[in-house]
Structure 1
Amino acid sequence: MSNKRTAALGAGVLSALVAGGIAFAPAAVAEGEDNAYALSANGLINITKVPHVVGEGKDHLVHTDLPPGSDRILHAGVFNSAVEKGFAKASTTDVKLGLPGVPTIEVGLVTAECDDLTGATSVANLKIAGTTVDIDQLQPNTELVPEPLQGLARITLNKQTENGDGTLTVSALSVDLLDGTQTVDLSTATCGEKPEAPKPEEPNKPEEPNKPEEPTTPPSNDDGDDGTRPDDEGKAPVPVPQPGHLDVTG
């Protein structure tokens, strides 16, 4: 494509974007929070992150056109977002992206997943200007500039960014139009490190029963018989002479 044609197309794209600009207020996200969204656009056309889930939860949109009506720049069958501690996932199905002056970009399924600071993406049935783009294994930050997009835009697949707050952001498909004049991100997930599972508490040991105290003096063998009790047959005991002295008077 010649430089003159590229410049002319670029000027046409900018004019169309300015004329059909969409602006939504961006949603604020605290640093370090797990979050996910299926679509975001920044530049002359700003589309807030949708559906945007922060912290924990799920959300979805069905049969979405942005903006609504015949002047739409994007159509999607389903947007999905899901987040939990240390995990985030976003997916978009049946996407048709038609930025003004740029060949149509179509994708069957775009998924981004971030799990405990590990990112993964999948992009199925990517077409540009009706031509299928073959995709093998997606390495992080794989850049594509097919012939129809040369001089206008570039596509980054499996875009991964390590953030200053320690989280990881993964975008399945990112479109950069005219060197950052307009960007569109499809299926983006951000996650931090998963919290450690709590250690199971050790069961309390049962208390040992108190041992009985040992007597300080040995038990007596005396059965309490003073010699006056009858024996087992009922006979009186034989008298036992006792030594002694009796005084005799007379």
Structure 2
Amino acid sequence: MSKKRTAALGAGILSALVAGGVAFAPAAAATPEDSAYALAADGLVNITKVPHVVGEGKDHLVHTELPPGAKSILRAGVFNSAVEEGYAKASTTDAELGLPGLPAISVGLVTAECDDLTGATSVADLKIGGQHIALDQIAPNTEIIPEQLKGLARITLNKQTDNGDGSLTVSALSVDLLNGTQTVDLSTATCTDKPEAPENPENPEKPEEPTAPEKPEEPTTPPSEDDGDDDGDKGGDLPGSKPDQDGKAPTPVPQPGHLDVTG
């Protein structure tokens, strides 16, 4: 089939799909995530990201050889990765990288940290072929090519990449062998921007405190002991105040200070 006929056939199929209401949705853009890993390699030797933490959490590996066995290209004492929202950190201690045809590259401690889209790294005790490499403050994307590696490989320290999706990736130490034939990244952290903290009012109004209910006023004059009777008996029955058993009037009883009453 000729190229013209193939192109015409392809155009015809595309027109038919559009006319039939088939829509081609654009690929959804991936949401950036905070992540960290201590080691990754790509090329002749592939090593997946380890220990790889995405979103939130921590992980580590101790006394590791990767790949395992006689063909390992990296030995390390400890790998660490830690991630939380807007922050990521990865570190590698006592690492030795031995790529085929290159002098050994060793480092005491290499750390990458990404915090709210700001990257920072530290590299301590870097040696290439047993020769110590003096490092001071490491600017972003600092490239070094020691004499032992000329024409073979280059090392990038504090490698920072704006991913274009609202995230930043920082690799503390990146080795590129023969223009990408083999790459190795030590201590890599990716972070997004942190969410803004809620604003606090300068003088928040305090809620009104409840007031205690008022107590009723107590009477100032004590209640009278008099029950309202006017007979002066103070609640008791005086002699002669009630009829006898036959219902007859009681016999008057003389009282002191009163005249005798006769019947």
TM-score in terms of structure 1 length: 0.69
**Do the aligned partners of 2:158 and 2:170 also contact (CA within 8 Å) in 1?**
yes
1:206: how far off?
4.2
Q: Does the residue aligned with 1:148 lie in a helix, a strand or coil?
A: helix
Residue correspondences, number: 180
What one-letter code is carried by the residue in structure 1 that aligns with 2:72? Answer: R
1:71-91 Cα offsets, whole Å, 9 max, x none, are: 211000000000001000000
1:72-116 Cα offsets, whole Å, 9 max, x none, are: 110000000000010000000001000111111000000000001
1:24-60 Cα offsets, whole Å, 9 max, x none, are: xxxxxx5310000000111121111000000000000
Whole-angstrom CA distance in 1 between matches of 2:209 and 2:173 = 63
Whole-angstrom CA distance in 2 between matches of 1:207 and 1:144 = 68
1:124-161 Cα offsets, whole Å, 9 max, x none, are: 00000010011111000000000010000000000000
What one-letter code is carried by the residue in structure 2 that aligns with 1:33? Answer: E
1:204: how far off?
7.2
Whole-angstrom CA distance in 1 between matches of 2:135 and 2:83 = 28
Give the equivalent residue in structure 2 for 1:159: 159
1:166: how far off?
1.1
Whole-angstrom CA distance in 1 between matches of 2:168 and 2:58 = 19
Give the equivalent residue in structure 1 for 2:56: 56
Give the equivalent residue in structure 1 for 2:91: 91
Distance 1:125 1:206, change over 3 A: same
Give the equivalent residue in structure 1 for 2:114: 114
Q: How does 1:163-202 map to 2 (within 5 A)?
A: 163-200=163-200
Give the equivalent residue in structure 2 for 1:246: none
1:190-243 Cα offsets, whole Å, 9 max, x none, are: 00101112335856744999xxxxxxxxxxxxxxxxxxxxxxxxxxxxxxxxxx
Whole-angstrom CA distance in 1 between matches of 2:205 and 2:50 = 48
Give the equivalent residue in structure 2 for 1:41: 41
**Higher radius of gyration, 1 or 2:** 2
Stretches of 4+ moved more than 4 A in 1?
A: 200-209
TM-score in terms of structure 2 length: 0.65
What one-letter code is carried by the residue in structure 2 that aligns with 1:64? Answer: T
Gap runs ≥5 in structure 2: 1-29, 212-263
Give the equivalent residue in structure 1 for 2:79: 79
Computed over aligned residues only, the root mean square deviation of the Cα atoms, in angstroms, reads: 1.8
Give the equivalent residue in structure 1 for 2:148: 148
Q: Does the residue aligned with 1:165 lie in a helix, a strand or coil?
A: coil
What one-letter code is carried by the residue in structure 2 that aligns with 1:43? Answer: G
Whole-angstrom CA distance in 1 between matches of 2:91 and 2:49 = 13
Give the equivalent residue in structure 1 for 2:127: 127
Whole-angstrom CA distance in 2 between matches of 1:150 and 1:158 = 20
Whole-angstrom CA distance in 1 between matches of 2:66 and 2:162 = 30
**Do the aligned partners of 2:47 and 2:67 also contact (CA within 8 Å) in 1?**
no
What one-letter code is carried by the residue in structure 1 that aligns with 2:48? Answer: T
**Do the aligned partners of 2:80 and 2:90 also contact (CA within 8 Å) in 1?**
yes
Q: Does the residue aligned with 1:100 lie in a helix, a strand or coil?
A: coil
Whole-angstrom CA distance in 2 between matches of 1:163 and 1:39 = 19
Q: Does the residue aligned with 1:76 lie in a helix, a strand or coil?
A: strand
Gap runs ≥5 in structure 1: 1-29, 210-250
Whole-angstrom CA distance in 2 between matches of 1:72 and 1:203 = 65
**Do the aligned partners of 2:152 and 2:178 also contact (CA within 8 Å) in 1?**
yes
What one-letter code is carried by the residue in structure 2 that aligns with 1:144? Answer: I
